[in-house]
Structure formats: C-alpha cells, structure tokens
Amino acid sequence: MLDKNGIAKRIAKEVQDGFYVNLGIGIPTLVANFVREDINVEFQSENGVLGMGPFPFEGEEDADIINAGKQTITTLPGASFFDSATSFAMIRGKHVDLTILGAMEVADNGDIANWKIPGKMVKGMGGAMDLVASAENIIVAMMHTNRAGESKLLKQCSLPLTGVGCVKKIVTNLAVLEVGPKGFVLLERAPGVSVEEIQKATQGRLIVKGTVPEMVI
Amino acid sequence: MINKKVSNVANALEGVKNGMTFMLGGFGLCGIPENAIAELVRLGIKDITCISNNAGVDDFGLGLLLQGRQIKKMISSYVGENDEFERQMLSGELEVELTPQGTLAEKCRAAQGGFPAFYTPAGYGTEVAHGKETREFNGKMYVLEHAYKADFSFVKAWKGDEAGNLIFKGTARNFNPCMCGAATITVAEVEELHPAGSLDPNEIHIPGIFVQRIFKGEHYEKRIEQRTVRTKNHA
C-alpha cells in the first residue's frame, strides 16, 4: 500500500518531457517533488503563473507571488505571470498537457465529485470545473477509500458533480486504474496489495484482465 | 493626456451607494484593493453584491465587509478560510452564487469586451448549469454564461500613471485586469502613482481607457495567507 508521497511518486512517472502541468491542492502538489530532474516541465498555477518553483527561503517570501493554495512560492527561469482569464484560456484551450487533481468520488464512467458536501462543506469549486471540463489528460490522485473505509471508486457519484465523463486515470494508495468504456480497468497494483483487496475496495465496475503487474516506483 | 488621477480614496469612491454591485480584484488576499475596501467599511455602504473570486479571511479583505453585514450577496468561485462567511451563508443571511473560476474571470472579461454572453464547457452536467441554456459544438456540450453587470470595479495594481495606465506585479495581477472597464466606473488603486509619460508604453498591462479613476493607496498591509518557506540546508 502506498502513502500520499507514494501516490505522488507514481504519478510523477506520468509527467513527460515538455509538459505543461497543472497541479491541484493536496496530494497533487507533492508530485512536483518527484518529477525526474533530466526532463523539462513547467508547472501552471491557475491564479496566474507558469514556471512555478519551490517555496522561498525564509525571509524571501513575497506576498505578491503565491500559488492557487495561497502559499508563498518562487518562480524558475522562463516563468511568466498573467491574468485569470488568460490562465483559464490556457486550461480551456487545452494548452495545458496534464492536470492532476484530488477527488472525493470518481464513478466508473469518469464522472468526478470534489467540490461540495451538501450541508457540510460548501467552499466552492475554484478552478476544478474549468479544469475537468477541458483537460484531455486528467489524473486523479486520491485514497482508494474514505475515512469510514467506504470506496471512493463508485458506480455513480453520490455527491454533486464537478464534471461528467472526464477522468481518464486514477492513482490511489492501492492501484493504478484507467476509465474504460465498461468501467475501471485495473492497470497496476500497489506493492504488496492483491487484486482481491482492490476488488473489495472498489464499488464501481472493475475490469481485471490477465495478470496485473505491481507498480514500479 | 486625459487625467484620471483623484487625490484620495474618498474622492475615488464618490457615488457608491447602498444596493450596488461591485467587482473586486484579488486572489485570496493577494492583489486585493485594500484601500477601497477600507473606505467601503468606513462609509458603511449596505446591501452590496460583490463579484470577487474569494471572500477574504475573517479579519481582512472582504471579511471586513462581512463583519459589518454590509454584503447581501457574494459571487465567488471559492469561499473557504472564512468562518463568519460560513456562518452567514448557513444561516441564510448571505446569498452566495458559486461560479467556476474560469467562468467568473470570463464573465468579467466579456463585460469589458462587449460580449453579452459566451459558451463554456465548465460546469456542464453539474448543478452550476441548472436552468441555463446548453448547446453542442463539434460533439461537445457547452453552457451559456452571461457577462456580469456592475456599478464599480475596484482593482489594485503595482504601478500606474495619471492617464490610468496600469502595471501589475506577480500573481497580484489575477482578476484585476479582467475587471478593468467591466463596470460603469473602474477605480484603480496603486502602490506607485507616476506622472504621465514616465511609464514605458511597451510595459503597460491595462491601458488607461479602461480606468476612470486612479489614486495612490495610502497603506498596504499585503497580508500573506499561507506563509510557506524552505530552509537553506534543504536547498
């Protein structure tokens, strides 16, 4: 089984040379720490920066340079700043190559819910609806089950949707899955996790073809 | 040169009234019009509709207007990090319209650029699209979203000149340029106000035609919401 850093490490392998990547808040933010150093990648933050770098050194924080999580950041050579409409033109216009975001629920037809728990949490969707409606290449990073042990990979989302039929790939603490025409296709198992354990933790349709390899991280 | 300079925040906000709709720039607390907000608090204007990506924190930004129950309706994409906001929303005192962030930016830009409405894929198939016209283009579904209408836009820039030309800094740019010229009157506050002719026309982000009033903000706190740093030995 993987921890959050393990999930981020596995997703980092999906990041290719020359990619512009949008990272959501939470586990996706960790992906930046594990991207190979021999490839060129630029991270986009929807509040208006391309070419995000690491956190600043203490004393060098600038209130005018933050990421979408409102954290102080730095920029790398080649970075640029732009307004919010331009930022979402990059997203809506499919100029961003890969979007990595978290989710509360994913359905086996690719629906995703990650912005609202009626009556409990109403913080808003931020940029998530724009991202999932347009990105061609969306990877969801999340735990396979919630704190109550219930599956987050469902036949149908129970929470209000963020987008319909948009998720392509999911990396959880247990598995790597793809959304196929007939449900979740199991691609890889996390180290030490059996197919049966993944089946038990998946409420949506799960397709297992032949021997499922263990992840190489 | 058409001079847009006003001497202070009080003159800049002349004409604001109860019940008006305001656009306010900023992302979180980054790039918010601090001086205009402080003046709205001082004036005690009520029943405001605010179009702003976020709602500030409890004791800063738009949180200050919430404390005084001056806001009737918030139109935002993300409203976390604010307990008083949550309380007013759950008790029904405050009306809230949540809008996808890219749609919010574009509804401002549409108003700026003279588009009455536009189609976006964001929100299709979700509750955001309820009651809205949808249409298929090239096999994909889109939602019709209308341009905002507002009485005042309050924006914050780094540098400006007397002609109303603006230059933004870092990610404090965010929604500010999209809101310039998107309301009947755009009020820009700047950290540095320069004489016309001293800013390079090549470097201007927003031309003064989109700005009706410009003033130098007296004080900027520029509060940081999430101070994240690394230590030298990790470098």
Determine contact, residues B124/A149, Cβ cutoff 8 Å.
no
Lowest mean pLDDT among A129-133, A204-208, B41-45, B79-83: B79-83
**Which of A57, A67, A88 lies nearest to residue B101, judging by beta carbons?**
A88
Q: A189 CA to chain B: closest CA distance, Å?
A: 32
pLDDT in tens, A162-192: 999 999 999 999 999 999 999 999 999 999 9
Binary contact (B103, A129; C-beta < 8 A): yes
Q: Which two tokens stand for residue B23?
A: 């656009």
Q: Which fold has domain B9-116+148-216?
A: Glutaconate Coenzyme A-transferase (3.40.1080)
Residue A217 confidence (pLDDT)? 84
CA distance B28 to chain A (A): 7
Nearest-Cα distance to chain B for A12, in Å, is: 20
Using CB atoms and an 8 Å cut-off, which of residues 82-141 of chain A contact chain B?
82-85, 87-88, 91-92, 111, 122-130, 133-134
In total, the C-beta contacts within 8 angstroms joining chain A to chain B are 181
The residues that bridge with A112 in the sheet, in sequence order, are A106, A163
User: Alpha-carbon dihedral of residues B154, B155, B156, B159, nearest 10 degrees?
Assistant: -120
The pLDDT assigned to B235 comes to 47
Which CATH class name applies to A4-207? Answer: alpha beta
Q: Which of B121, B126, B224 minimises the CB distance to A61?
A: B224
Q: Specify the pLDDT at position B80.
A: 82
Min CA distance, B131 vs chain A (Å)? 16
B122 interaction partners in chain A (CB closer than 8 Å): 92, 129-130, 133-134
The 10s digit of each residue's pLDDT in A56-84 is 999 999 999 999 999 999 999 999 999 99
Helix (H) or strand (E) holding A132: helix A128-134
Put simply, whether A203 touches B (Cβ < 8 Å) is no
- The domain spans of chain B are 9-116+148-216
Does the CB of A72 have a partner CB in chain B at under 8 Å? Answer: yes
pLDDT computed for residue B234 by the predictor: 52
Catalytic residues of A: 46
Among the partner residues A72, A111, A134, nearest to B228 by beta-carbon distance = A72
Comparing CA positions, the residue from B52, B109, B50 lying closest to residue B78 is B52
Confidence at residue A122, expressed as pLDDT on a 0 to 100 scale: 80
Q: Is A17 on the interface with B (CB under 8 A)?
A: no
- Tell me which residue in B27, B125, B227 faces A47 most closely, judged by beta carbons: B27
Contact B225 A46 (CB under 8 A): no
Cβ separation A87–B108 shorter than 8 A:
no
- Summarised one tens digit per residue, pLDDT across range A9-22 is 999 999 999 999 99
- Residues of A within 8 A of B232 (CB-CB) are 57
Average pLDDT, chain A: 96
Q: Which residues, 6+ apart, have CB-to-CB distance to B106 below 8 Å?
A: A85, A88, B118, B120, B145, B178
Query: HSE on the CB side for A126, CA within 13 Å?
Result: 19
Q: What are phi and psi of B53, to 5 degrees?
A: -55, -40
Looking only at the bridges linking them, the beta strands covering B140-146 and B117-120 are antiparallel
Residues of chain B with pLDDT under 50: 235
- For residues B153 and B185, the answer to whether their CB atoms sit within 8 Å is yes
CA atoms within 13 A on the CB side of B70: 26
For residue B170, the chain A residues in CB contact (below 8 A) are: 49, 62, 64-65, 81
Residue type, A68: A
Question: Could you tell me if A205 lies within 8 Å of chain B, comparing CB atoms?
Answer: no
Q: Do A124 and B102 touch (CB under 8 A)?
A: no
